[in-house]
Amino acid sequence: MNTRPTKTIHTNAVPLVFDGNLALCFLVEVVSATRDAIVKNIAPGAIYTFVFHQDAKGHPFIWPASCLNASPVDTTPGATTVQNFVGNADGNLQANLPATWREL
C-alpha cells in the first residue's frame, strides 16, 4: 500500500525538490521557468509520476540530469504534461514511456 501522498509543488519554490520519500506522484504547477530542480531519495523499482500544468503564460522546465530520457514539458499556456519514471539503483529516474500532453 502506498503511504506516500501526492505532493503539489510550484516551480517558484527555491530549491525545487522532488523527494521520493515524500511522494510517488508530483503535481507541478508551472508558474516560472525552472532549470535547477533536484531529485532525491529515489527507491529502485518504484514508479514516479510527474504531472505538469502550465499557467496562463507557459514556462520552460528543464529536467534534472538524473531524469533519464524524459520528454520535454509542453510550454503552451494551460497545457498539461504527464511523465512516468521508474527509479533505478543509482538514484536516477528512467522514463519508461514517452510523456503525454493535453492542451486546453
Note the pLDDT tens digit of each residue in 79-103.
Answer: 999 999 999 999 999 999 888 777 6
Q: Are 10 and 29 in contact, with CB atoms under 8 Å apart?
A: yes
For residues 45-77, one letter each, b for 16 or more C-beta atoms within 10 angstroms of the residue's C-beta and e for the rest, the string is eeebebbbbbeeeebebebbebbeebeebbbee
Supply the pTM of this predicted model. Answer: 0.91
pLDDT in tens, 8-44: 999 988 889 999 999 999 999 999 999 889 999 999 9
Of residues 68 and 5, the one with the higher pLDDT is 68
In the predicted structure, residue 3 carries a pLDDT above the cut 70: no
Residue 8, φ and ψ in degrees, nearest 5: -95, 130
Q: Are 33 and 12 in contact, with CB atoms under 8 Å apart?
A: no
Residue 38 CA to residue 80 CA, distance in Å, equals: 21
What are the grid coordinates assigned to 69, written together? 530520457
Res 1: pLDDT: 52
